[in-house]
Amino acid sequence: MSEPLLRVENLKTQFFTESGTVRAVDGISFEVHEGEIVGLVGESGAGKSVASMSLMRLVEDPGEIVGGEITYRGETLFGLEEGPDGELRERDEMLSESEMRERIRGREIAVIFQDPMESLNPVFTVGGQLREFIELNRDLSSGEARDEAIRMLREVGIPDPAERYEEYPHQFSGGMRQRVLIAMALACEPSLIIADEPTTALDVTVEGQILDLVDDLQDRYDTSFVWVTHDMGVVAEICDRVNVMYLGEIVEQAPVDELFYDTNHPYTKALLDSMPRPDRTVDELDPIEGVMPEAIEPPSGCRFHPRCPDAREVCTRVHPETLEVDRADGYPHRTACVKHDVFDVDYDGSVPLEPGDEAETRVGGTGTEAGADSNSSSTGEEEPASPDGGDPQR
Ligand SMILES: Nc1ncnc2c1ncn2[C@@H]1O[C@H](COP(=O)(O)OP(=O)(O)OP(=O)(O)O)[C@@H](O)[C@H]1O
Ligand code: NI
C-alpha cells in the first residue's frame, strides 16, 4: 500500500487546568490514505475535536500537544525528540509556525466546522469572503478570484451563484451556508479536509444532501477527509474507514463494513445499538448506560469498563493497547478489548463484574498495560503479550 497522506502516531494532547490535567487525546494512532474518508466517531467529550485541532496544530491554551508524531506527505507537522539533557524538544525537521500558516493550513489541509456562522463574517457578502480567501491563497487577480468564487459556489450546488455571490451569510439557509464553507475549504484544492461535525446542526434531509455533495466532490477532486461525528449513521453513509474514540483513545479501528459486521469492541457495539435504524422503532433503541467519565481521572484498566456489559475483573486493571486483530481489504482491524484472543490475559477465567461493583476505581494510570510492549511471554504467536504475572491482585 502507498505511503499514507497523513500519519498520526501516539498523539497526546492535554489541557493543563486548575482542576488537573485533562488527557483529552491520549495516545491515538491512525492513518489517512489518498482519497479516503476516515471517520472519528464517539460521544461528546471523547476527544474528537481536540484531535482534529491537533492535526492542524491549532490547540488552544491551556492545551498543548505533549507527545507523538504527525506526518503529512512525509513532512513532520509535529514531532519531539530527546535532547542531550534528556529533555523533550521539538525535532529540527518539524515545520515552523509560519510554515504551518503559509504552506499547510488552508492550502494543504483545510477545516470545516459545525457552525458556519463562526467561520463567516456577517458584515461581508458571501462571495466577497470567498473571493478574498481565494485571492489570498492562490496567485489570482481579483477578477479571476471572483470568477473562481462563483465557479466554486456552483460546484457546491448553490443555485444562481452569480446572484447569491452578492448576498450576506444571514440570507443563506443553514445548509446553504455549510455549502459555502465546503466551497471555501475546497477553494485551494487541499489534499485533506478535516470536517468537525459539519452536518450535526442540520436537519436530516439537508444533512443527507450535504453528505451526497461531499461524496460527489470527493470523487471529483480526490480529496481525503477526516470526518468527525458522533453519528454512526453518518459514518455508514460516507466513511471508508473509521476510528472509534472513547475518553481520548481509539478503541476500535476498521474499514466501515468490517466495523459494522464484525464489531469487536463493546463500546462500538453500544454505539451501533443506540443508533436509530429503519428496521427498529424508537422503543427498541438501546441507549448506552451511564455517562462518559472525566478525562482528568480516567478509570483504571480499560476506560470503558465501568459502563461495559462484558466487563470482568481483569478489565479493571489491564489497560489494553489497540492491537491488530484482523485485516480487511488490506487494512488493519484494530481493537482495544481484552475479550479478544490476541490479548492473552485470561479474560475467560476472570470474574464478571456486577453492575456498580467498583464505582470508586478511578485510579488513572496505575493499571497494567496489555499489548505489544508489555512483556515477552510470547509463545511465538502474534505480538501481544500478557500483563505481568497475570495472577489476580485482589
Ligand atoms: N479548552 C479546554 N480546556 C480544558 N479542557 C478542554 C478544552 N477543550 C476541550 N477540553 C476537554 O477535552 C476533552 C475532549 O474534548 P473534545 O471537544 O475534543 O470532545 P469531542 O469528542 O469533540 O466532543 P463533542 O462531540 O462534544 O464535540 C473533554 O474532556 C473536554 O472537556
Ligand atoms: Ni467536538
The confidence score (pLDDT) of residue 371 equals: 61
Question: Above 50 in pLDDT, residue 111?
Answer: yes
311 lines ligand 1 (CB under 6 A): no
Residue 282 pLDDT class (50, 70, 90 cuts): low
pLDDT tens profile 70-84: 999 999 999 999 888
Q: Is residue 374 a contact partner of residue 385, using CB atoms and an 8 Å limit?
A: yes
Q: Which of 363, 314, 259 is nearest to 42 (CA)?
A: 259
Average pLDDT over residues 184-210: 92
Cβ–Cβ contacts within 10 Å for residue 214, how many? Answer: 24
Interatomic CA distance for residues 343 and 376, integer angstroms: 13
Residues 273, 274, 279, 283, Cα dihedral to 10°: 120
Question: Above 70 in pLDDT, residue 378?
Answer: no
Taking the centre of ligand 2 as the mean of its atom positions, its distance from the CA of residue 2, in whole angstroms, is 30
Q: Work out the angle at residue 107's Cα, subtended by the Cα atoms of residues 35 and 73, and round it to the nearest 5 degrees.
A: 50
Write down the domain spans for the chain: 299-394
Average pLDDT over residues 345-366: 67
Interatomic CA distance for residues 151 and 166, integer angstroms: 14
Q: Which of 11, 48, 60, 228 to mutate to test the pocket of ligand 1 (most atoms within 8 A of CB)?
A: 48
ipTM higher than threshold 0.95: yes
Name the strands in the sheet holding 20-32, side by side, starting at the edge strand that comes first in the sequence.
20-32, 6-17, 63-72, 75-82, 88-90
The confidence score (pLDDT) of residue 281 equals: 60
Q: Is residue 309 a contact partner of residue 266, using CB atoms and an 8 Å limit?
A: yes
List 220's β-bridge partners, or say none. none
What is the residue-wise DSSP string for 287-324? Answer: PPSS-PPPSSSPPSSSTTGGG-TT-BGGGGTEEE--EE
User: Of all protein residues, whose CA lies closest to atom 8 belonging to ligand 1?
Assistant: 50
**Ligand nearest to the backbone CA of 53:** 1
Q: Are strands 331-335 and 249-255 parallel, antiparallel or unpaired?
A: antiparallel
Taking the centre of ligand 2 as the mean of its atom positions, its distance from the CA of residue 115, in whole angstroms, is 11
15 lines ligand 1 (CB under 6 A): yes
pTM confidence score: 0.89
The confidence score (pLDDT) of residue 84 equals: 87
Residue 267 pLDDT class (50, 70, 90 cuts): very high
Grid coordinates representing 148?
A: 473562481
Q: Is residue 78 a contact partner of residue 68, using CB atoms and an 8 Å limit?
A: yes
